[in-house]
Amino acid sequence: MQQSPFHVIFSARAGTDAEAMNRAVRDFLSEQVAGHRWITAHHPDTGHVHVHTMISARDDIGKALRLTKPELYAWRERFAAKAREHGIAMVATRRADVAATRPYSQAQAGAYERGRSDPRYLKSAAVNQRVERKWVGVVDRATLSNGNLALAPKWQATAIALKGAGAKHSVIAAADRFAAAATTHAPHAALRASGFVLLRLEVEQAMERETVAVILEGAIGVEAKLISVAGKSVQVLAPTTASVSKIERELAKQGEEFGPGSETRSVARGFQTRLLSHGLRASVVVEAAGSAKHSAPSPWLQKKFDTLTERSAAPPDEPLAEFKALITTIQQQKENAMPLSLKQFDERVSRATKSMDRLEGMVDSSAERQAVEEMRREISALFAEQRRDIEMQQVRSATETNGGGGTSAAARSDDGQAQGRPAPSTVDPAIAAQQQAIATGRASRAAREQAGAAKNAQDEHRQQVLHQAEQDRQRDNGRDGAER
């Protein structure tokens, strides 16, 4: 099925140079939709300058073009920069930046007009107010508050960046002043909240904590101290106007049989939409909820958040800790090991490599495979170092033998007898470490196989019971038929 092309309109203020606008649009499309077919058209007979573009939905290799809200916002920013390159004074603004009233649809405008001409026509007071406020140009207070909530953390981040760059004191003071003004005019979300929810966000790619904090402060209106970032996982204590008691009941019932309730899903979708509008794509899960105490989370909810923060801040369990301890032991015992010939050493290396191959075949998870690979590299480096030591020792022995003309025959005879005696058998620490790791893997594998066998036995027993019940039912039906 062929997908319809995209129709995108690029507009500018009245009086803008039309030729410069056309050049900016063409250059922008050449960079952003390379490989797609597109065409532009400019209408010079209108009051403001705007260029219509039609862009094919798929490029020359069949890849589809995605235009989501965050991507369109990014397009606005990039096109404004491209327009400035062509001498056009342009900045990317949204309705929130100018506190514009919410727009109305064509159906709402038609309903308003019919209501004015025919009093009998049913109309909504909300629709009338929306259309009239838009016509008059009344400032939308809610939009203005949300815009200030979004601008305040951006100015705060700007002030921090200026301080780090060593800017002039007057410039830093101005940024601080703008941040304070935006924070003052923006009513804090917690003041209107009935409670707080503990959210777990899973972002698509890991970002720095400062970047995530700025986005979350603008999208949700929370302070940085209520945000914890650990890789792609983010914990947030966010204010909410939803029913906290209902969310708590739904979370108590949530389990394998019951998924999230309606109120919980609604809260998660609301936060996800707000994050998406600020360019952050993430999955949102509500983990806990609690009431608000003096515009702050309840003590137990704050404690739960602090516990999760400390757990994420603690250094993770090193999967190679045990292996590194074994390698350290090998390094410490290397000096005490008896000297080997190169042939004996190569045989032991071959056995260790085979053991590593068997161990790698036992592991299942990617973390275990990474640990085995890391251990293989560490032990290979130790083997290479030991081989160099053996070669150097043999070189020194050969040099002493050739240059030691003053050595007595008795001494040489004793040396020959010492060399003829079998060397005491020693166990290579690397081999011991491999054997221990293999034993551990075999035990884990045996436990898994035992659990699987038990499950299979339960399934077979269940099938036998069902089969026996079916046979009894058929036997009873046959007996009833014979009696009739």
Q: Is residue 128 part of a domain?
A: no
- 454 shares a domain with 355: yes
- 326 shares a domain with 461: yes
Q: Which of 307, 330, 346 is nearest to 437 (CA)?
A: 330
Lookup: tokens for 467: 């089969």
Helices 18-32, 69-85: axis angle to 10 degrees equals 130
- 291 shares a domain with 200: yes
- 255 shares a domain with 381: no
Q: Is residue 210 part of a domain?
A: yes
- Contact between 131 and 112 under an 8 Å Cβ cutoff? The reply is yes
Q: What is the dihedral of CA 241, 246, 251, 254, to 10 degrees?
A: -130
Q: Is residue 56 part of a domain?
A: yes
- 357 shares a domain with 274: no
Place of tokens 């046979």: 471
- CA of 434: how far to CAs of 344, 372, 441, in Å? 18, 10, 10
- Contact between 352 and 403 under an 8 Å Cβ cutoff? The reply is no
- 72 shares a domain with 24: yes
- 75 shares a domain with 31: yes
Q: Is residue 378 part of a domain?
A: yes
Q: What is the pLDDT of residue 424?
A: 45
- Contact between 116 and 143 under an 8 Å Cβ cutoff? The reply is no
Range 177-183, long-range pairs (CB < 8 A, 24+ positions):
178/151, 179/152, 179/155, 182/148, 182/149, 182/151, 182/152, 182/155, 183/148, 183/152
> What distance in Å separates the CA atoms of residue 278 and residue 84, rounded to the nearest whole number?
24
Q: What is the residue-averaged pLDDT of the chain? A: 72
Domain C-terminal end among 250, 278, 313: 313
Structural domain boundaries, residue 384: 317-392+426-465
Q: What is the pLDDT of residue 483?
A: 65
Q: What is the pLDDT of residue 29?
A: 92
Percent of the chain with pLDDT over 70: 59
Q: Is residue 475 part of a domain?
A: no
pLDDT tens figures, 155-172: 556 566 656 666 667 656
Q: What is the pLDDT of residue 400?
A: 62
Helix, strand, coil distribution of the chain in percent, nearest 5: 60, 10, 30
pLDDT at 345 over 50: yes
242 against 95, higher pLDDT: 242
Domain C-terminal end among 292, 313, 334: 313
- Contact between 275 and 215 under an 8 Å Cβ cutoff? The reply is yes
> What band does 53 get if pLDDT is binned at 50, 70 and 90?
very high
- 446 shares a domain with 356: yes
Q: CA angle, 265 as apex, 71 and 95 as ends, to 5°?
A: 35
Q: Is residue 32 part of a domain?
A: yes
- Give me the CATH number covering residue 279: 3.30.70
Q: What is the pLDDT of residue 105?
A: 66
> What band does 343 get if pLDDT is binned at 50, 70 and 90?
confident
User: Average pLDDT of 307-324?
Assistant: 60
Q: Is residue 213 part of a domain?
A: yes
Domain C-terminal end among 313, 335, 366: 313
User: Average pLDDT of 69-96?
Assistant: 77
Helices 141-165, 209-219: axis angle to 10 degrees equals 160
Q: In what order do the strands lie in the sheet with 282-291?
A: 227-230, 233-240, 195-203, 282-291
In one letter, which amino acid is 452?
G
pLDDT at 374 over 50: yes
Round the CA-based radius of gyration of the chain to a whole number and report it.
37
- 351 shares a domain with 287: no
- Give me the CATH number covering residue 44: 3.30.930.30
Q: Which of 389, 387, 235 is nearest to 301 (CA)?
A: 235
- Contact between 381 and 327 under an 8 Å Cβ cutoff? The reply is no
Residues 6+ apart with CB under 8 A from 99: 139, 140, 141, 143, 144, 147
Q: Is residue 182 part of a domain?
A: no
Please give the biggest Cα pair distance in the chain. 131
Lookup: tokens for 134: 């838009």
Number of domains in the chain: 3
Q: Which of 205-209, 365-369, 383-387, 395-399 has the lowest mean pLDDT?
A: 365-369
pLDDT tens figures, 99-112: 445 555 667 777 76
Helices 209-219, 262-277: axis angle to 10 degrees equals 110
- 352 shares a domain with 234: no
- 220 shares a domain with 294: yes
- 440 shares a domain with 350: yes
Lookup: tokens for 110: 């038609």
CB neighbour burial string for 210-238, b if at least 16 within 10 angstroms, e if fewer: eebbbbbbbbbbbeeebbbbbeeebbbbb
